[in-house]
A and B are shown apart, each in its own frame.
Chain A
Amino acid sequence: MNTTERSKRQKQRKVLLMGRSGAGKSSMRSIIFSNYVAKDVRRLGATVDVEHSNIRFMGNLMLNLWDCGGQDSFVESYLTNQRSHVFTSVAVLIFVFDISSREAAADLLNFASTIRALHEFSPNSRVFILIHKMDLIPADQKSRVFQQRAVEVRSTCEDEGFLEQQVDFWATSIWDQSLYRAWTQVIYFLVPNATVIERMLQKLAELLDARELVLYERTTCLVVTHITRGSEGQNPYSDRFERLSSILKTHKHSMAKHTGTLASEVSFAEMQVKTGEFMFFITRLTENTNLAVVMPSDEATFNAARVNVQLARQEFAHLDIVEKRSKDAARFAGMRDSLGSDDIASKGSEDEEIAFARPKDR
């Protein structure tokens, strides 16, 4: 089989979302993927059996999200009669621990049996452990409690045969941006061509002379990747990407409320913020993603950057194509060859034209 067919198949990723009943799985899922506001999740009832959602992310990644009900009877059924059906070919297991639960030992046992089943059928999958409802812990005890729980869970994972690098821990809460941080990591792991995207973005950043580029998905406002250049690395806000996610998400909700449309349909064409210290703009990059660009405070480079991003869009469109038949794919490849030598307008006073380089593995 040729590479297009194989890569098409690989773009379906199965993600299991498991945890005890009431841990917060459906709440997280609805906030991130269904545009709920944190307050709305009170409306959600217990999930019955498995809720499947197929979420298209970045156009070529199909997330097959299995939100598995956490009540004991359902868990029993997953571990016994549905065992192979549930646990085969899993790319990622996201297990949610409710930190405020009083039955920590039972939670751990539950987790151990789930992991055991997972290891039987998908030993190479990645496990993300989310220690959820961290807002209920007083601030001074947060890290201690988190570390404690992480150590216990990690030893359980090792017992069941998962290597250290396959397991990741995150403290989350739906009331702040930590939720976005954890899910960003999950998504980043799942996006198939993350390194290719980063290389192209790095080149774009050099051309624009941008301080930072942030690529995020439009509907969920999750940051896919970012490029930081130069002195921006000293930015004291190391959690700025998830902050940006939550700022943009709230903005979407407020716009939706104002224009009377649904939050999922609202999206802006461009947003600009200019101050004496930096200039910032967000614009569409591909059909499913937006690019946020932070520039130094100079009107000329800012406007040149805006134009350059417009021109760069067609190169990035390749990363995001919906599955095409092989005929179309071939035609597209031909078009791309002719576009490959396009020049992008140079900024400001430079006279030479800068050619936009193509990634090498295409």
Chain B
Amino acid sequence: MRTLFGENILSPSPTPRPQHNPFELLFHSTASAASSNASTHSSPNQHGWLTQHLQAQQQAERDAADQTTRQPAQHVKRKGHPKLLFMGLRKSGKSSVRKVVFEKLSPADTLFLEPTPRMERATLQSFVPIETAEIPPNAPVTAPEFDHRAAFGNAGAVIWVVDVQDEYLNAIGDLIQTAVFLAENYPRVNFEVFIHKTDGLSEEYNYEAFREVRQRVQDELSDLGHGDRSVSYHQTSIFDYSIFEAMSKVVQRLLPQLPAMEALLNKLCSTCRIQKAYLFDTSSKIYVATDTSPTFLRDYEVCSDYVDVIVDIKQIYGWQKHERQSQDTTSQDDSVGESLVTYDRSGDTYIYAREIDE
């Protein structure tokens, strides 16, 4: 199948990329995932899903993401794979978040999850192999006998989950303790706070809680001299898209390729007059990059739903490929998937999606 774009759509990247060509993304399919991960300089024929959105937007503020690339001095040099560590009080929702985002568990089924007894690790095979780990809440993290180096040495970001429906003020004490500990010993690790379980509560209450947590943590840190540490706060809930948005932002902060991908997306949007573009990871539906125009949750939702539609249809009618793949694992597939929806009679495309890698 011929592709819409020629081979030289990929302009040479503005910054030297360490490992990956950003247009070489992995589409997580059940058969082969890790094989395409290794190759570095790929032709444009290997791709992931790029979702573009063509509707008028309003001006709004965009979060300034912390984009410093890390050159860690004290801890083990990461090989470009983001590692996330989840911490928080018991029943705050750490396992639910991990399972809903990375293992596609339905949010309603998280009621049946058991408390996590020990530290768990998991890896998501995808464009960016994301490793997640979860520390059980009663582990004495700050005590000297705990093996910090094993836990935090490799971490890219620590996510503290605060349950806003429970007594969150108690959680703040532990939060601050951990934040201070990390600020002192592992300053290179990003610290993120999820104000979690914001579904079902009024917007004012959530905002109040959000502000209070932020205020207190900021005060404590500056009292102890770490006022320059940046901590980001997100309001999340597994029952809507806010958790995916927050995870996307967390993962983006850990990607060294982010500026390059953003520059490419910007170029694409300006050349093709696209309003908004998202680079989605299909299995977890977090977006790995977007262009620098203002971001709205609504656009992300509609693109994420559209990715779902495409994946479902592909599964229903692509059945021959699955059967073939189970017999012959060396098949080479040069075709590119793409999809579009046109919403009015004039034929202007409303949403366009293109597969970047299989």
| A contacts, CB < 8 Å to B | 211-212, 231, 235-237, 240, 243-244, 247, 250-251, 254-255, 257-259, 268-278, 280, 294, 297-299
Beta-carbon nearest neighbor of B108 in chain A? A175
Asked if B316 contacts A240 (CB within 8 A), the reply is yes
When the two chains form their complex, are residues A297 and B302 in contact, meaning their CB atoms are under 8 A apart? no
A274-B1, A274-B338 known; A251 vs B305 contact (CB < 8 Å) = yes
Q: Take A247-B309, A268-B350, A271-B341 as given contacts and tell me if A257 and B302 are in contact as well, using a CB distance cutoff of 8 Å.
A: yes
* Contact indicator B321/A243 (Cβ below 8 Å): no
**Complex CA–CA separation, A231 to B320 (angstroms):** 10
Chain B residues contacting A271 (CB-CB under 8 Å) are: 339-342
Given contacts A258-B301, A274-B338, 18 further A-B contacts (CB under 8 A): A236-B319, A243-B316, A244-B316, A247-B312, A250-B308, A250-B309, A251-B306, A254-B305, A255-B302, A258-B302, A268-B342, A271-B342, A273-B314, A273-B337, A275-B337, A275-B355, A276-B333, A276-B337
Q: Which residues of A contact B333 (CB under 8 A)?
A: 276
Number of interface residues of B (CB under 8 A): 39
State in angstroms the CA–CA spacing of A276 and B355 once bound together: 11
Residues of B within 8 A of A274 (CB): 1, 337-339
Is B5 an interface position by the 8 A CB rule? no
Q: Which residue of A lies closest to B315 (CB)?
A: A237
| Residues of the B chain whose Cβ atoms lie less than 8 Å from the Cβ of A294 | 317
Contact (Cβ within 8 A) B1 A269: no
Are B316 and A237 closer than 8 Å at their CB atoms? Answer: yes
The answer, yes or no, to whether B310 is at the interface (CB within 8 Å) is yes
Residues of B within 8 A of A231 (CB): 320
Q: Chain B residues in contact with chain A, CB under 8 A?
A: 1-2, 55, 298-299, 301-302, 305-306, 308-310, 312-321, 333-345, 347, 350, 355, 358
> Which of B1, B302, B314, B342 interacts with A270 by CB under 8 Å?
B342
Interface of A is mostly: mixed
Which residues of chain B have C-beta atoms less than 8 A from A250's C-beta? 305, 308-309
Check A269–B321 contact: CB distance below 8 A: no
The answer to whether A275 touches B344, judged by C-beta atoms less than 8 angstroms apart, is no
Residues of A within 8 A of B335 (CB): 275-276, 297
* B309 adjacent to A251 (CB under 8 Å): yes
A-B contact pairs, 11 of them (CB 8 A): A211-B317, A244-B313, A250-B305, A254-B302, A258-B301, A271-B340, A273-B337, A274-B337, A275-B337, A277-B320, A280-B313
B244 to chain A minimum Cβ distance, whole angstroms, is 14
Say yes or no: A254-B306 contact (C-beta < 8 A), given A235-B319, A271-B341: yes
Closest A residue to B345 by CB, please name it: A269
CB distance from B172 to the nearest CB of A (A): 33
Q: In the bound complex, what is the Cα–Cα distance between A10 and B4 (angstroms)?
A: 50
Are B306 and A275 in touch, CB under 8 angstroms?
Answer: no
Contacts of B1 in A (CB 8 A): 274, 276, 297-299
Cβ of A277 and Cβ of B317 under 8 Å apart? yes
Residues of chain A with a CB closer than 8 A to B318's CB: 275, 277-278
CB of B306 within 8 A of CB of A247, answer no
* Alpha-carbon distance A241/B259, docked complex (angstroms): 43
Chain A residues whose CB sits within 8 angstroms of the CB of B341 once the complex forms: 268, 270-272
Distance between B327 CB and nearest chain A CB, rounded to angstroms: 15
A23 to B336, CA, bound (A): 47
Contact A258 B299 (CB under 8 A): yes
Residues of B within 8 A of A235 (CB): 316-317, 319
Given A247-B313, A280-B317, residue A269 in contact with residue B306 (CB < 8 A): no
Please determine whether B313 and A277 come into contact, CB atoms closer than 8 angstroms: no
CB of B314 within 8 A of CB of A243, answer no
> In whole angstroms, how far apart are the Cα atoms of A361 and B319 in the complex?
38
Instruction: For A266, give the chain B residue with the smallest CB separation.
Output: B343
Interface core residue of A258, A272, A298 (most chain B CB under 10 Å): A258
Contact of B301 among A257, A298, A299 (CB under 8 A): A257
Q: Among the listed B308, B317, B358, which residue makes an inter-chain contact with A278, where contact means beta carbons less than 8 Å apart?
A: B317
- When the two chains form their complex, are residues B347 and A269 in contact, meaning their CB atoms are under 8 A apart? yes
